[in-house]
Amino acid sequence: MSDSDKPKKPQLIQPRTLKGFRDYLPESMIPRERLIQIAREVYRSFGFSPIDTPTLEYLEILTGKGSDETDRQLYKFQDHGKRDVGMRFDLTVPLARFVAQHINELGTPFKRYHIAPVWRGENTQRGRYREFMQCDFDTIGTLSVAADIETGLVINALLSAIGFERFTIHINNRQVLNGLLEKQGLSEQATPVLRSLDKLAKTGEDKVVAEMIATAGTTEEQARSVLTMATLEGTDQEILTQLKPLVRGSELGEAGVERLEQILAGLQSGGVPSERIKLDVSIARGLDYYTGAIFETFLDDLPNIGSVCSGGRYDNLAELYTKRQLPGIGASLGLDRLLAAMEELNMITKVKTPADVLVTYFDKGSLGKYLEIAASLRTAGIKVELYPDTKKLGQQLKYADARGFDYAIIAGEDELSRDALQIKDLKTGQSTEHLIANAATELAAIIKKADSH
């Protein structure tokens, strides 16, 4: 038989995902959804409302602020109607468009949260993907310090609800930085100066000074004075005291310091433990549009992973799309970073099922009975899976074990003849017999008790 006569193998397409794009298996999706669920509940508990916007926007909406970086990272193409479109690269630009378009219906202040994927065609690295989730919350249309404080309260509530106890919210105010720059005659070069300053923790003082001289054209003296302020140390109160003379004479700077004092006091009133708050004059965040309070949150046990929740105040969110000035403040939870951190800190229990209980399919003729049992358990709020085949009990339990179920229901002819079933605790291996009629309430109580531990 020659090669050409051999039956051809069907040509298979290699299953693969695009660079920077990921599949999520149940094992990783379950903790992921849990985190998103917690974020939703916390946001809602502060009165933020959910919104969503389209994945695709007109290209001009997204490139409005255009820079080379935008071009490099934006996924863009022409749709079938020859329109130039792009995929959103963050949730802030769509929010700006959204409020410009709907602010009259929404009214101010407007508080929204938005949890959705965004796309950036940037180079991949650990923790940096081309498709990733953002979890933003923002308050639009108020300058009140109450909104600034609330942002910190939300961050505290979020991380606490997720299960973190040891974390620090670093707080700064761009006004202070800008006030100082104003005094130094560096207002024009604010952006490159702050961009350099933001690298302080990473590269060290001398390099930052060198970069400021090189890229922002400052004198060494100017650069040093910016650093003097940025490297102030001590308690929050001590830093505030040292800050005051440094900004004296700059209206902006003085207002900024006062604002910081109010925010710190407010967070305390709001119940945030003082060890979780740190006035940090060195954080600037690269983003140009921040004009007021700035937040970055670090895990005390894993500071190297970077900020897991950051944000800040901006003066004019939607200036590209409307004449109406809309100030606001918001922040974003770094979902991927947080999940990576939780994994590293062993805060994630590995399960492959969302269900609590596996109902084994034991006696072939009793499928109806098993369906009834499963239904009654669900009615009691228990998540239940019914095994679909009458395999040997040992194998069904093996399945339950491998997937991470906590309990199995076992009921063969013997139990069913007594209108009873066994609840087997898969962690301890012990089983108890219950009347079917009472099983749902009793199991719900058992689960509740186990959860509270």
Options 59, 74, 208, 446; binder of RNA; rule CB under 7 A: 74
Which residues inside 419-448 make contact with RNA, applying CB under 7 A? Answer: 422, 424-429, 431
Distance CA 332, CA 335 (A): 9
Which part of the chain contacts RNA (CB under 7 A), choosing from 62-70, 97-105, 321-329, 438-446? 62-70
**Cβ(233)–Cβ(222) below 8 Å:** no
Establish if 349 lies at the interface with RNA (CB under 7 A). Answer: no
Which part of the chain contacts RNA (CB under 7 A), choosing from 11-19, 141-149, 227-235, 256-264? 11-19
Establish if 217 lies at the interface with RNA (CB under 7 A). Answer: no
Residue 402 or 435 with smaller CB distance to RNA: 402
**Partners of 384 in the β-ladder:** 357
Establish if 90 lies at the interface with RNA (CB under 7 A). Answer: yes
Q: How far is the CB of 236 from RNA (least distance, A)?
A: 26
Establish if 8 lies at the interface with RNA (CB under 7 A). Answer: no
Options 31, 48, 57, 92; binder of RNA; rule CB under 7 A: 92
Residue 72 or 350 with smaller CB distance to RNA: 72
Q: How far is the CB of 266 from RNA (least distance, A)?
A: 25
Options 286, 325, 383, 438; binder of RNA; rule CB under 7 A: 286
Residues touching RNA, count (CB under 7 A): 55
Options 57, 150, 280, 415; binder of RNA; rule CB under 7 A: 415
Phi, psi of 11 (to 5 degrees): -75, 110
Which part of the chain contacts RNA (CB under 7 A), choosing from 12-20, 35-43, 77-85, 273-281? 12-20
Q: How far is the CB of 124 from RNA (least distance, A)?
A: 4
Which residues inside 14-53 make contact with RNA, applying CB under 7 A? Answer: 14, 18-20
Which residues inside 394-413 make contact with RNA, applying CB under 7 A? Answer: 394-395, 397-402, 410-413
Residue 161 or 420 with smaller CB distance to RNA: 420
Binding site for RNA (CB under 7 A): 14, 18-20, 62, 65, 67, 69-70, 72-74, 89-90, 92-93, 120, 122-126, 195, 202, 285-289, 362, 391-395, 397-402, 410-415, 422, 424-429, 431
